[in-house]
Amino acid sequence: MARRGSGHAKGTSRLSTQIILLVISFSLIFLGKLDIYTLRAAKTGVSDVIAPLYDIVAAPVRAFDTMASGMRTLASFRAENVRLRAENERLRRWQRRAEILESENRQLRTVLGAASTTALTPVTARAISAPGGSFAHSLLLQIDEGHRIRRGDAVVNADGLIGFIIESGRKSARVLLISDVNAKIPVLLASSSWPGLVLGNNDQRLRLDFLPLEAEAKEGELVLTSGHGGILPAGIPVGRVVVAEPGNVIVAPSVALEQISFVSVLTKDEGLDKPVDLADLERFFGPLKPESDGRLLEGISAAELLK
């Protein structure tokens, strides 16, 4: 009888433990959404501790991936070489065009007295994780201690926008990818300048919404960040329109999000209200070095012409 009573008490205690743990795990869903500073700090602390362990565990997977992609490249070596030569030639033509346009742009900026508002310093970081789930698209960056990465900083690579920082710890930072359902990026259509909002939906394609009624997106049109809201800098490529139907505009990201390894975090300098230093502008927004064929407009000024 006493044994039965003890067993019953044990069963009741186990059941109550399970109920308490169920309640705690359920409340975690809401606590995560509340964005309380202490919780955020705890989460970044956990990420800081686990990130090096994860990096070790992921090493064999990364090695396998490198080996597999190496074998794929070897198999298509010849075709790849021909493709790259053609692409190189095309890019050279684009480079010349870009240099001319940049030079023209700089001169027009000088004439108009237009100045960019934000000085950005790129910080290089390594991506150590990938989304791997249908319910959230974020990735973790491993960064050096003493960095100046903060929430809201844009994360880019050579191809365009990857996402923005949502958590920044001592040695790690979390990026919300543009493909996440919570990512809503203010953008402009590059050729028509119509503003809109690019929305992620946890897929490899993005949706372009909130376009004005008279706006007409074209297939292949480039989509750039508009800088509205002041979080992300303007002019970063987000993607290209791949489906342009009324009420259904789909954008393919410029960046191959499944192949991210190193990224640049565009950190804002201390004190955004400080006056813009023209030398900084020159450094970040100045044109590429002109070629020596002398065809560029670089350097020609009224004073020189008068001489």
Partner 1 sequence: MSYSAYFQKAKLTSYFSMQFMVAVSLFFLGLFEGALSLLEIFYISTPLLSFAVYFTLFVFYPVALPVLSLVIVTVLLDVFFSSLDHSQTFAILVSLLIVRGAVSFPEQRDFMEIWQSFIVALVILLGLQSVGYMIWHMSFINFQSVMFQFGVTVLLYPFLHAIVRQAADLLTHISQR
* CA 187 to the chain's CA centroid: 14
Min separation Cβ 15 and partner 1, Å? 10
In this structure, how many other beta carbons lie within 10 angstroms of the beta carbon of residue 109? 14
Output 167 or 221, the one with its CB closest to partner 1: 167
**Interface residue with partner 1, options 138, 168, 225, 226 (CB under 8 A):** 138
* Structure letter (DSSP) for residue 81: H
**Interface residue with partner 1, options 98, 100, 130, 244 (CB under 8 A):** 130
**Interface residue with partner 1, options 80, 87, 144, 203 (CB under 8 A):** 203
Burial of 94 from C-beta contacts in 10 A (0-12 / 13-18 / 19+): exposed
- 267-306 footprint of partner 1 as x/- string (CB under 8 A): ----------------------------------------
Q: Rule CB under 8 A: which of 29-68 touch partner 1?
A: 29, 31-33, 43, 46-47, 50, 53-54, 57-58, 61-62, 64-65, 68
From CA 174, how far away is CA 155, in angstroms rounded?
Answer: 10
174 binds partner 1 (CB under 8 A): yes
Checking DSSP bridges between strand 160-168 and strand 154-157, what pairing results, if any? antiparallel
Output 245 or 258, the one with its CB closest to partner 1: 258
Min separation Cβ 201 and partner 1, Å? 6
From CA 307, how far away is CA 299, in angstroms rounded?
Answer: 14
From CA 27, how far away is CA 215, in angstroms rounded?
Answer: 44
Size of the chain, expressed as the number of residues it contains? 307
12 binds partner 1 (CB under 8 A): no
- Angle of helix 37-75 relative to helix 77-112, nearest 10 degrees, comes to 130
Cβ neighbours of residue 186 under 8 Å, at least 6 residues apart? 195, 196, 197, 225, 226, 227, 228, 229, 232
Specify the stretch interacting with partner 1 by CB under 8 A; choose among 19-27, 78-86, 91-99, 188-196.
19-27
| Residue corresponding to tokens 């230093």 | 277
Q: Rule CB under 8 A: which of 143-172 touch partner 1?
A: 166-167
Min separation Cβ 129 and partner 1, Å? 6
**Residue 155 bridge partners (DSSP):** 163, 265
Return the CA Rg of the chain. 25
**Interface residue with partner 1, options 202, 228, 240, 243 (CB under 8 A):** 202
Output 94 or 210, the one with its CB closest to partner 1: 210
116: its two tokens: 């960019």
- 216-245 footprint of partner 1 as x/- string (CB under 8 A): ------------------------------
210 binds partner 1 (CB under 8 A): no
From CA 42, how far away is CA 146, in angstroms rounded?
Answer: 19
Q: Rule CB under 8 A: which of 71-110 touch partner 1?
A: none
From CA 135, how far away is CA 203, in angstroms rounded?
Answer: 10
The residues binding partner 1 (CB under 8 A) are 17-18, 21-22, 24-26, 28-29, 31-33, 43, 46-47, 50, 53-54, 57-58, 61-62, 64-65, 68, 129-136, 138, 140, 166-167, 174, 176, 180-182, 201-204, 257-259
